[in-house]
Amino acid sequence: MRLFAPLILSTLLAPLALPSRAAEAAAAPAPAASIAPAAAEAGLRRAEALGERLLRLDRAAWVASDALMAAQRGRGDARVRGWITVERADGIDVVFVDATPAALYRVPIDADGHPAGPVDDAPPPLSAAEVAQAQARAIALAAAPPSCSGLYNPVLIPGDADDDWVVYVIPGTQDNAVLPLGGAWRYEVRAGQIVMRRPFTNSCIALDNRGDGDSKAFIVSHLLDDIPTEIHVFWSLWSGKSLFVTTQSGVWSIEQGKISAVKDDDKPATLPAKP
């Protein structure tokens, strides 16, 4: 996960102008419970799809930030307060916004994750859905606790209506040798209010991701769910390494974005060291 150059980064986490709202309604997740095989299978496939989607959107944002900084020759733009992503059939548009929120720049990213054209510094106005996305992003960031890594990279996915957004608030990293697995949150924002939130871990977890290390995989304990989540899939894909997740229901492996149960006969002779 890349971060933006210093001038842009200094403004990305500043809050957008938000409408006045009533106090948020937020519920903590229920304790993990046993689930039926069919529900587990559906949950695994959902986690895989979401984890891959989160990575694709996150990477589009940092590729777009690199393109924007290159176009501005590293000068940055103090008006920038964040970015939103607009998924297309053939790629993703990353739109950098100000505090209004209003569009400042639009960067097209193709289906392979590369810039699909020049930076548009006179983009069309934001649609109603895009305004709602920018506001949901700011609402979730304002509600999030301090980041385990000191930084957050939000990733947003549309909900069921134009003003419904699911905001994943994921710790950022400035060092590819450190994988900040702990500290991610999921917020559901509906009509400008947080209606649900959940953490993905109970504490900060930082894994050693050095390329010259002996570990080809990670193993972590997960207490909040019976099966691995989309955040586990995201970080496994991000690192390019397998991730073993132990839950109340057993041991699971994530390899190349696919989750499977680890049977006793299939367990490796030596699992990676627990962090």
pLDDT digits (tens, 9 = 90+) for 171-191: 998 888 899 999 999 999 999
Residue 155: its pLDDT value, please?
Answer: 98
Cα(47)–Cα(45) distance, integer angstroms:
5
Tell me the pLDDT band of 28, cut-offs 50, 70 and 90.
very low
Residue 161: its pLDDT value, please?
Answer: 81
Taking residue 260's Cβ as centre, other Cβ atoms within 10 Å add up to 11
Q: Write the CB contacts of 4 (distance below 8 Å, at least 6 apart in sequence).
A: 12, 62, 65, 69
Q: Write the CB contacts of 96 (distance below 8 Å, at least 6 apart in sequence).
A: 64, 68, 77, 80, 82, 83, 103, 104, 105, 106, 107
Taking residue 258's Cβ as centre, other Cβ atoms within 10 Å add up to 13
Average pLDDT over the chain, rounded to an integer: 85
Strand ranges across the sheet with 164-171: 152-158, 164-171, 185-190, 193-199
The model's pTM? 0.83
